[in-house]
Structure 1
Amino acid sequence: MNYGIDRERALELLKQYLTNPNLLKHCLASEAVMRSLARYFGEDEELWGLTGLLHDLDVELTLDDLSRHTHETVRILRAEGVAEEILEAIRMHNEHAHTDRRSQRFHHALAAGETITGLIIATALVYPDKKLASVKPKSVRKRYKEKQFAAGANRAIIAECEQLGLAVPEFCDLCLTAMQGIATELDL
């Protein structure tokens, strides 16, 4: 299918708008998680992957102002001719900037999937070798229950995985495996 953008162009845009290498890695991790979720649910892997990859395109432009975050991404991507389905999911991953609420599987998957990446990375960083390969699924599940650990990883948003029909432990395992698959790209 044609989404108005391919992965190569998406990466070009990310490199144009994101200067912080950790933000780029977050986008790559979100892409891996979304592709894994798409495979799990029999959804369109390219659609879900591109959405995960592009979801935070404007985070440096909006300076973490949640009332503005996603508006610039949608503007930039609409000018590129990106499919409305991608734009809507990106828009809905940040409910702070909009009056409507997530209601579709795709929207919940992006919100929960991009949020858990921070928890997984933080878990890896407390290991002596700081490698995703060392992280065990039970460690992520344990850290999820520790509200003070990686406090920025909103547990309520991660728990939206239940809207997908996935229990939190299963979701943690699936997302960790996805990120371990691109550990080299994440330098973890």
Structure 2
Amino acid sequence: MSYEQFGMSREEALALVKSRIGNENLVKHCLAAEAVLQAMAAELGEDPDKWGLAGLLHDLDAETQPDLAVHTRETAEILRGKGVDGEIIEAIRLHNPQAHPGEQRTSRFHHALAAGETITGLIIATALVYPDKKLSSVKAKSVRKRIKEKAFARGADRDIIRECEKAGIPLADFCALSLTAMQGIAGELGL
């Protein structure tokens, strides 16, 4: 990984995440988003390091600014101060448009970050209903089935997950790609 070209090394980025986020599950969410975004970038011919860094850093202010009316504003300021790539900052800002009235996701990168970080919660919730609570037991078909169950993992907004198609990946492929990416770091996720 060569995140440095986008403003900081992976080690610096992970240290920043851990210094700003105390909740271990939220740190794991950021790691999962990183893995999914890298896989999406590879699938779409984009830069996996750029997209991965966005996934890793996207929720820096989730604990200090949990109100969706302001979440991502502090993150954007922190990252600007550290010289992080402007496109990364923009994608991070717009993964939560509630904090930026009048602005919308318009690029493949914007849609990918929003969909990629959102599906991680659905996949983790799916794994947690299995007896062994392991990602290795989950099949992509199960993730697709859970998308249709509105009462399951309500926080995982299905419309945002479906933005994978605006990024250029069909939903069924996106479920498989995201699951495989997360299975690849199951040890780090404790699943």
TM range (shorter): over 0.9
Partner of 1:69: 71
Q: Distance in 1 between matches of 2:171 and 2:152?
A: 16
Partner of 2:123: 120
Shift of 1:162: 1.2
- Give SS of 1:185's match: helix
User: Any residues of structure 2 matched to 1:30-45 within 5 Å, and which?
Assistant: 30-45=33-48
Structure 2 residue 136 is the aligned partner of structure 1 residue 133:
yes
Partner of 1:109: 112
Q: Distance in 2 between matches of 1:45 and 1:141?
A: 24
Q: Distance in 2 between matches of 1:185 and 1:67?
A: 31
Gaps of 5+ in 1: none
Task: Give per-residue Cα distances to partners, 1:86-142, cap 9 Å, x unaligned.
Answer: 111100100111121001000000000000000000000000000000001111010
Q: Distance in 1 between matches of 2:178 and 2:85?
A: 25
Q: Distance in 2 between matches of 1:124 and 1:31?
A: 18
Partner of 1:91: 93
Equivalent position amino acid for 2:10 in 1: R
Q: Distance in 2 between matches of 1:176 and 1:2?
A: 28
Task: Say if 2:44 and 2:168, in contact at 8 Å, map to a contact too.
Answer: no
Q: Distance in 2 between matches of 1:81 and 1:139?
A: 40
Structure 2 residue 178 is the aligned partner of structure 1 residue 175:
yes
Structure 2 residue 184 is the aligned partner of structure 1 residue 185:
no
Shift of 1:165: 2.4
Equivalent position amino acid for 1:180 in 2: Q
Structure 2 residue 152 is the aligned partner of structure 1 residue 149:
yes
Partner of 1:164: 167
Partner of 2:10: 7
Shift of 1:168: 1.3
Q: Distance in 2 between matches of 1:148 and 1:29?
A: 23
- Give SS of 1:2's match: helix
Partner of 2:53: 50
Query: Percent of aligned positions with the same letter in both sequences?
Result: 64
Task: Say if 2:108 and 2:168, in contact at 8 Å, map to a contact too.
Answer: no
Gaps of 5+ in 2: none
Q: Work out the number of aligned pairs and report it.
A: 187
Equivalent position amino acid for 1:73 in 2: T
Shift of 1:169: 1.3
Shift of 1:159: 0.7
Equivalent position amino acid for 1:137 in 2: A
Structure 1 runs (4+) deviating above 3 angstroms are: none
Q: Distance in 1 between matches of 2:184 and 2:147?
A: 21
What is the alpha-carbon root mean square deviation over aligned residues?
A: 0.8
